[in-house]
Amino acid sequence: MNGLINRSIQCFLRDGWGSGVWDDAARAAGVPPQGFEPLLPYPPEVTDRLLAAAATRLNRDSACLLEDMGTYIVSHPARAAVRRLLRFGGSDFRDFLQSLEDLPARARLALPDLVLPALRLREEAPDDFRLEIGAGRPGLAEVTLGLLRAMADDYGALVTMRLESVSPDGAAILAIRLLDQAHGMGRAFSLGRVE
């Protein structure tokens, strides 16, 4: 389902930096300027070239760019549906974390061709978690880190997170420490209405 991933990168670049940055990155990566069809398959090399071109154009490290993309997926107004689906994972950030193991299966309900790596959460001590991300697409760990940071903010939780390890096959471990469940005012969310 590289079409969906590539389309997400396209929207991230356009929404974040404008169509000029998208056009430059697409041209450098050998991608047509109209971009990607989300439901079509594309070779992984296309995604790699696009990310490299975007990082070069923006003079950013690709890992930081991917983390920012994870934040974008949750926090940008154009992606409100994704945030809403993720908020169904729990009433607070702890509940949300504990629902992450079910996320790949829930995602397949909406997008049957989307294959997310397995997720396994371990609570090693009170408020100290390790999220194991199974092998899959390299770069998903960084996207997941950005997504989780944005979700913590969305819930109003004070959390520290870091990538503890990343393998070339995309497998990774994220260290997550929940410092304060109700540190700030989270964004409003109601199951019964669309915001």
Domain boundaries for CATH 3.90.1520.10 within the chain: 73-180
Query: In this structure, what token pair is assigned to residue 172?
Result: 């990774």
CA distance 120 to 100: 8
Q: Where does the pLDDT of residue 136 fall: very low under 50, low under 70, confident under 90, or very high at 90 and above?
A: confident
**pLDDT tens digits, residue range 76-119?**
888 877 887 888 788 899 999 999 999 888 888 877 777 889 99
| pLDDT value of residue 186 | 63
CATH 3.90.1520.10 fits 73-180, yes or no: yes
Q: Which residue has the higher pLDDT, 177 or 193?
A: 177
Report d(CA 95, CA 79) in Å as an integer.
22
What are the angstrom distances between the C-alpha of 98 and each of 23, 47, 85, 194?
40, 30, 15, 24
CA–CA gap between residue 128 and residue 121 (Å, rounded): 10
pLDDT for the residue numbered 184 = 66
Cβ(93)–Cβ(74) below 8 Å = no
Per the CB < 8 A criterion, the answer to whether 131 and 173 are in contact is: yes
Query: What value does the mean pLDDT take over residues 37-46?
Result: 89
Report d(CA 23, CA 188) in Å as an integer: 36
Single-letter amino acid code for the residue at 154: D
pTM of the model: 0.89
Residue among 117, 123, 128 at smallest CA distance from 161: 128
